[in-house]
Amino acid sequence: MNPDEIISILKEEIKNYDEISKDQEVGTVISVGDGIATVHGIDHAMYGEVVTFENGLKGMVQDIRANSIGCILFGKDTGIKEGTKVARTQKQAGVPVGDAFIGRIVNALGAPIDGKGEIKADGYRPVENPAPGIIDRKSVTVPLETGILSIDSMFPIGRGQRELIIGDRQTGKTSVALDTILNQKGKDVICIYVAIGQKASTVAKIVSTLEKHGAMDYTTVFSSTASDCAPLQYIVPYAGTALAEYFMYKGKDVLMVYDDLSKHAVAYRALSLLLERSPGREAYPGDVFYLHSRLLERSSRLNEKAGGGSITALPIIETQAGDLSAYIPTNVISITDGQIFLESDLFNSGMRPAVNVGLSVSRVGGAAQAKAMKKAAGSVRIDLAQYREMEIFTQFSSDLDEATTQQLKYGSGLMELLKQPLSSPLSLHEQVITLCAATHKAMMDVETKKMKKYQRDMLDYFDSAYPEIGREIEEKRQLPDELAEKIVKVAEEFGLIIFSDEIYDRLVMDGEEHVSIASLAPDLFCVTFSGLSKSHMIAGFRIGWMILSGNKAIARDYIEGLNMLSNMRLCSNVPAQAVVQTALGGHQSVNDYIIPGGRIYEQREFIYNALCDIPGISAVKPKAAFYIFPKIDTKKFNITNDEQFALDLLREKKILIVHGSGFNWKDPDHFRVVYLPRVEVLEDASVKLRDFLEHYRQ
């Protein structure tokens, strides 16, 4: 080779070098394999920085050592070999973001893989981003309804919450997440589904389901399949969260599904072992907890100043043989705000979704649950837990008493009602109506195998004959008194039993008249409760009664049980019986209490006027009972926490009140005053309250 040829080759090499090294720090690959490249010669690289290889392949700095850096490759390493040049970009790894990503399927780097062309990006966000600070966050108060009866009633999820879906393989975890996505149609929620290490056929099936139900109109799918390299499986949930943050900071509500983080942890373990990091428990590296905490902490609800959006996370974890104490499950359980545990035995027995009532919990969603749902659900969770325990203890017994038989029948009916077909989410009013019917034991006579058909027929009847009931529940999200008569009529047509607590029926003032629920539906079986403690103001004897009215034919078993109990244990002692006779047959002193000049009436008048005279306090005069609920001007006193307000008042003035949130009131602007004490006591308390509020500010 002559000198001219050598010079020509050198010039070409220098030209190529200049192309990659222009204003950049350049290193060379010293080893490569399994998606990991070790690079020497780059001394100032940052963790998470993107690097570019001379063949155009990109990677990310994942490991920094004294004389080299470890890079994960975003693609196949076939074009990388020892000596390949690598350049810094001084740019943090990120993905393109924008509104155009809605309805698309993209890979871990945000590139489209659905064959619908390029996606116009509105910006670029790093895949790793600090979670919103405490000051930027807001309490979870808005529900994110899944449409799944068993979850919305017992383990409600709020916008900004992180609710773990956990269970063995093939127990319906993905189905729960997909049904939740389907239920967000028309609710202004953007959904992002992240498939980590799934089979390509599985992802295709999921996309098909979403398209079939019109859910792709508000959903983005991030996919890193099992055939992708570990680095792409590792980065894909962070990429999906980056897009979610783009929408969140624009004030949008986002639902994130990570399916699943078990495979994500496995991918990270593979990377860590290849990077020669020290293995710990189950061969996972020591920072595997931080792996998921820095991901899930990015899900939150922002205040208006920070953007006002939210990210609700539904991470999925796969367990082995139901072992919740394994490394990854315990880690993620500790990070999230509750978990929905899907049990294999329940699934195999035909319970779909197979939600384990005892091990599932929602730690913050209850604060966001619709009042209508909270009221309708009642004691469903306790009833189910009791049923499962009773079922276990009675399976070896052949001779069961009537009460146990009825409890088992009621529990099995509840279990059947909670079964729900795939891709069939229920609306709020459908759930509320179902639960009302169930908890009032209106379906006790329905055969278990016919329960679902009965439910469907009943809901169809409500929607066709009384659509205004459903509309009002959906709009107001509560069960106001105005709906009582309508609901009673529909309940009558479906044989509902009404239980009505009317213990304040004789303590009505100002000429008002108590109207019994039973009088509104004379043909409907109704159980009305009352007692001496309130109606006759004789506390301490624990004496009350039940009035059975209406169509008793539909409640023969119930009445038989009451008669049985009354013969065994429902009887008062002799002194109490004497009290009953005197209370019911003697002078009715309560009538004198509730008229002008009467003690209860005058105490009510005094406390009402005294409270209204305090600047910043207003009240509505109660028409019955012993309680008044004043309203506080929260802006005047800068009150954001009514529980703290009650504690401060107790410490300073030794006055005990119950804060409004103690009655599930959503705003910190009410408290309860009991006006049973004498006027002198009420006067002293109101003076102290006025004095306290003159200087109190939170």
Ramachandran region, residue 459 (left: φ > 0; alpha: ψ -120 to 50; beta: rest) = alpha
Q: Where do we find the tokens 């058909």?
A: 453
| Antiparallel, parallel or unpaired: β 310-319 and 219-224 | unpaired
Residue 271 DSSP label: H
- 170-185 average pLDDT score: 96
Given this model, what pLDDT does residue 495 score? 57
* Confidence tier at 160 by pLDDT (50, 70, 90): very high
Query: Which segments within 610-654 are labelled E, that is strand?
Result: 617-618, 627-628, 631-632
Mean of the per-residue pLDDT values for the chain? 89
- 540-558 average pLDDT score: 78
Strand (E) or helix (H) holding 59: strand 58-64
Torsion of CA 561, 564, 569, 575, to 10 degrees: 100
Task: Report if pTM > 0.85.
Answer: no
Enzyme catalytic residues: 363
Rounded Cα distance, 366 and 661, in Å: 13
Given this model, what pLDDT does residue 47 score? 92
Per residue in 455-512, pLDDT (tens digit) is 887 888 788 778 888 998 999 888 766 664 666 567 567 656 788 999 888 889 998 8
Contact 607, 655 (CB under 8 A): no
Number of H helices, E strands in the chain: 25, 24
Rounded Cα distance, 500 and 513, in Å: 17
Given this model, what pLDDT does residue 379 score? 82
Question: Would you say residue 206 has pLDDT above 70?
Answer: yes
Ramachandran region, residue 151 (left: φ > 0; alpha: ψ -120 to 50; beta: rest) = alpha
Question: Would you say residue 139 has pLDDT above 90?
Answer: yes
Which range scores top for mean pLDDT: 350-354, 536-540, 555-559?
350-354
Which of the residue ranges 15-19, 448-452, 454-458 would you say has the lowest mean pLDDT?
15-19
Rounded Cα distance, 497 and 492, in Å: 8
Q: Which amino acid is at 147?
A: G
Copy the structure tokens of residue 432.
Answer: 């509320």
Contact 410, 446 (CB under 8 A): no
Rounded Cα distance, 688 and 677, in Å: 15
Classified as helix, coil or strand, 73 is strand
| Antiparallel, parallel or unpaired: β 671-674 and 631-632 | unpaired
Given this model, what pLDDT does residue 484 score? 47
Question: Would you say residue 280 has pLDDT above 70?
Answer: yes
Q: Please name the residues in contact with 600: beta carbons below 8 A apart, sequence gap of 6 or more.
A: 507, 509, 593, 594, 626, 675, 676
Q: Which amino acid is at 592?
A: D
Given this model, what pLDDT does residue 407 score? 85
Per residue in 638-656, pLDDT (tens digit) is 999 999 999 999 999 999 9
Rounded Cα distance, 592 and 670, in Å: 30
Tabulate helix, strand, coil % of the chain (nearest 5): 45, 20, 40
Question: Would you say residue 686 has pLDDT above 90?
Answer: yes
For the purposes of burial, counting CB atoms within 10 Å of the CB of 14, is it exposed (0-12), middle (13-18) or buried (19 or more)?
exposed
Per residue in 32-41, pLDDT (tens digit) is 988 899 999 9
Question: Would you say residue 236 has pLDDT above 50?
Answer: yes
Q: Which residues of 215-235 are buried (b: 16+ CB within 10 A; e: fewer)?
A: bbebbbbbbbbeebbbbbbbb
Rounded Cα distance, 68 and 42, in Å: 7
More confident residue, 26 or 396: 26
Q: Please name the residues in contact with 296: beta carbons below 8 A apart, sequence gap of 6 or more.
A: 162, 313, 315, 332, 335, 336
Question: Would you say residue 423 has pLDDT above 60?
Answer: yes
- 558-563 average pLDDT score: 85
Question: Would you say residue 397 has pLDDT above 80?
Answer: no
Question: Would you say residue 523 has pLDDT above 70?
Answer: no
Residue 597 dihedral angles phi and psi, to the nearest 5° = 100, -20
